[in-house]
Structure 1
Amino acid sequence: MCRNIHTLHNFEPPATSDEVRAAALQYVRKIAGTTKPSKANQDAFDHAVDAVAHATQHLLDELVTTAPPKNREEEAAKARERAARSGRYAAAASAS
């Protein structure tokens, strides 16, 4: 799975349309193998992003859970903590 695509379900506040579109864009980029399509492929690329964003929004709207919503800031802090413990960002942290 693409590391830049994050869980969007069960957060307070809910995912915005910009977040849904960003996830769709990352997905299509990964599948297409490019971050910027050629002019010949731009329409197909844009159509795919629109379709994936639409399907994603429908999925998010229809999912149900009994779990309490997660707080975005708390989840981001947990992710930073996990990354620091794993050593993935040790070089960047020591450079600052």
Structure 2
Amino acid sequence: MCQGYHACMCRNIHTLHNFEPAATDDEVEAAALQYVRKISGSTKPSQANAEAFERAVAEIAHITRHLLEDLVTTAPPKDREVEAQKAKERSAKRFATV
């Protein structure tokens, strides 16, 4: 679990809805952290802004959990391993050396 803004690695925000098993708290917090970093323009805020930064991450993670719980779909849940393999294949194709 993320413990403040300096404990989690920076990553792109990924789709968290409709996976089996459901998104973990770590995934939700990492997405919230990345969102706050992006809109604030800072990966590590100053001491003066640290409290506001961490509060924003916590609040966005909280709202994100509610959103994920409330969303409905008729599509079958996606498999994490299958989606990860697809992403690896896309990455390999994108960054393949000629």
Q: Which bracket does the TM-score occupy, shorter chain normalised?
A: 0.7 to 0.9
TM-score by length of 2: 0.84
Cα RMSD of the aligned pairs, angstroms, is 1.5
Q: 1:82 Cα deviation (Å)?
A: 1.1
Q: 1:67 Cα deviation (Å)?
A: 0.6
1:49 corresponds to which of 57, 62, 76 = 57
2:13 corresponds to which of 2, 5, 13 = 5
**1:84 maps to 2:84:** no
- List runs of 5+ in structure 1 lacking aligned partners: 92-96
Deviation >6 Å, runs of 4+: none
Count of matched residue pairs: 88
TM-score by length of 1: 0.86
Counterpart Cα distance in 1 of 2:90 and 2:51:
39
* Letter paired with 1:9: H
* Letter paired with 2:56: A
* Letter paired with 2:47: K
2:31 corresponds to which of 20, 23, 26 = 23
What percent of counterpart residues are identical? 70
Q: 1:12 Cα deviation (Å)?
A: 0.5
Counterpart Cα distance in 1 of 2:81 and 2:34:
22
- List runs of 5+ in structure 2 lacking aligned partners: 1-10
**Secondary structure, aligned partner of 1:14:** coil
Q: 1:81 Cα deviation (Å)?
A: 0.6
